[in-house]
Structure 1
C-alpha cells in the first residue's frame, strides 16, 4: 500500500517594524513549516534581525503602498506544496497548533485553498461583523487545470476550498485604519478604479473606525463610483454620513432617500436618526433609531443595528425625560430598557 506523502508548506510573510510581535508569531508556527520566507518592506527596528533567527530567506522589497505587490513577491520565493500567509501579529495557540498539524497530515492534492477562522479583539476590529470569520490562509502553490463537462467542455476554474476549524488569534499592537485609508486613497488617485470588494471594505473600515475627516476625504472617491457600482447602497450611506457632517441637508437627503427607493438598511435609518437628534427633534430621531434596530437589517456594521441603535434610543429618551414637565416616567422606563439592551449586545460568533 503506498505511503501518503505529507504536504510541505512555505510560510510567506510580509513585515515592517514588527519587532514587538514577530517572535511571538514565529514561535507559534515555525515548527509546522518546511520553509520560512520573510519579506521586509522597510523596517527601521530590529525586525530583520529577529527574522534571521528563524530563516535565512529574508528579502527586502521596496514598499509602494500596495500589499498585493509585496505578497506576490513573497509568494514568488516559495518552493513548497502549499503557502501559509500569516501576518506578524497573528498567533496559533497550542490547541490550534495541534489542529494545524492534523490538517497538514491529512491534506490531499484536491484542496487548493484552506480557510481558517480569524479572531480579533473587539477593540481592534476594523471590518469584522462577527467574533470570528473564515478567511483564506493556506494556498496550493501550483495549480493544475482539468477539463470538465462531457460536451461544451471547459476548464474548471473554481478552486476547491476547505473550511477548517483552526482559529488564528489576531493580536494587533494598534489600529492600522489610518494606514489603510491612505492606501485606498492612493490607489484611487493612481488608477481611478477600485473593485467592488475594496469599496465595500473601505466603507466598513470608515464605519468601524473612521473620523469625520476620514469620511470627508472619501467623498470624492464615492462620488466617482456612485452611479457605476454594485455597492451603491453602502456608498450612499457613506455619502449621506459625510454630508451630515457638513450639515448639507440637501445632499444628505439626496443620498439618504436613494436607499429607500430600494430596500432600506439599518445604517441609513441610523444616519437619519442622528440627523434628527442633531437638530434636537428627539421624537423623530427615536422613530428612525427604532427602525434601525427592529425594522430593517444592516449591510455594513451589525453593531449599528444593535448596540449603537440601542444606546441612541436610550440617549433620546433621556433628552425627552429631561425636557418633560412633569417628569414622564414612561421615558425613564425606556431609557433603562434600551441602555440594558445596548450593554447586553454581543457580536454573533460567526455569520
Structure 2
C-alpha cells in the first residue's frame, strides 16, 4: 500500500479548513500545511489535526508556495489539497481502494474536480479531470530492446474519485489583485495565465476590473500573439468599449473578431448590449441571435447559452411580443439547467 503526503497552502481558512481536514483523516499519512500569512485560527485548527505547519512569505506566486510544500513531503505520493475541497464518504472509500492497489508504474492520478459552475470559477464546465496525486520521486525507465529510449511522459491514471469544490466565496478579487501586481512588476505572464485572466474577468469581473485590465490587454497587441489569444483580447477590449460607451473601440475590435472567420459569442453579446442600451432593439436582436445560435463562447459559456436568450426575451418584451419573450425565457432556463 502506498503512503501519501497531503500538501496544502492556506491563508485565513478557518471557516472551511476543518471540513477539509475531516475528509482527509484516515486517507493520508501526513499533512503538510504551508501558511502564507493567516491572521485567524487557521494554524490552531491545523494543530488539532497534527498537521506539519510551515510559514512561507507570500511573494505573489502560488507555484513557489506549492513547490515549498512539496519539498516538505516525505511519503511515496503527494496529494494536492485546497482548504475549500471536500471528499465525501463515497469518494473516501474510492480513495482508500486506490491507495491499496495503485500500480507502481503510475506517476500521476487524476481526479474529477466538481461543482465548478455553482461558484463562478474560471472554468466553463461543472467537472473536469485534474492531476491531484503525484509520485514524489519518479524513476526513469528504458524501453525498447533496440534503439532503446527513456520514457519521458508520465504515466497518468484517470480515477473515479470526485473532489467537491465548496468555496465560501469567489476568489476573483484576490486573483485580479495578484495579476495587477505581476503586471506592475513587469513579470512575464504566460499565454495560459493570460487566458485564465481573461476568462476570470468574463466570469466574475466587474466594470472596474475590466478597465484596470484594459492597458495590459491592449499592450499585448504590440506583440505577435496566436489567433486564439487574439480572439480573447478582442473580447476583453470590446467589453471595455461598451463599458466606456466608446463606439469606435467596439467597432475596431468587433469587426476584427468577425473578420477572423467565426465571431466570438462574447463579442456578439457585447455588440447586442451596446445597441440594446441605445434602444436600437432590432439591431440588438440580430447580435443576441448570433451569440445564442451562431457562435461559440471563448471565455464564459453562458454568453453562448442562457445570457443572450435572456436579453432576447427583454428585446421581444420591449417590442410588445410577450409570447416570443416567454419562449426565449424558457429556452434560457433549459440551457442554463443543461450546464449543471
| Cα contact 2:235–2:264 (8 A) shared by 1 | no
Q: 1:169 to 1:185 in 2, by over 3 A?
A: same
| Cα contact 1:302–1:347 (8 A) shared by 2 | no
TM-score (norm 2): 0.93
| Residue of structure 2 equivalent to 1:176 | 171
Instruction: Say whether residues 1:228 and 2:227 are aligned partners.
Output: no
Q: For 2:333, what is the secondary structure of its paired residue?
A: helix
| Cα contact 2:238–2:254 (8 A) shared by 1 | yes
Q: How does 1:157-306 map to 2 (within 5 A)?
A: 157-226=152-221, 227-230=223-226, 231-262=229-260, 263-306=262-305
1: CA distance, partners of 2:41 / 2:143: 51
2: CA distance, partners of 1:220 / 1:112: 42
| Cα contact 1:89–1:171 (8 A) shared by 2 | yes
Give the C-alpha shift of residue 155 in structure 1: 4.3
Q: 1:280 to 1:167 in 2, by over 3 A?
A: same
| Residue of structure 2 equivalent to 1:21 | 16
Residue-pair matches, total: 336
Q: 1:239 to 1:151 in 2, by over 3 A?
A: farther
Q: 1:38 to 1:254 in 2, by over 3 A?
A: same
| Residue of structure 2 equivalent to 1:341 | 331
Q: Deviations over 1:270-317 (max 9, x none)?
A: 111111112111111111111111112112111111110110110111
2: CA distance, partners of 1:209 / 1:21: 22
| Cα contact 1:14–1:39 (8 A) shared by 2 | yes
Q: For 1:232, what is the secondary structure of its paired residue?
A: helix
Give the C-alpha shift of residue 35 in structure 1: 1.3
1: CA distance, partners of 2:137 / 2:332: 49
TM-score (norm 1): 0.91
Structure 2 gap ranges (5+): none
Q: 1:259 to 1:61 in 2, by over 3 A?
A: same
Q: 1:349 to 1:338 in 2, by over 3 A?
A: closer
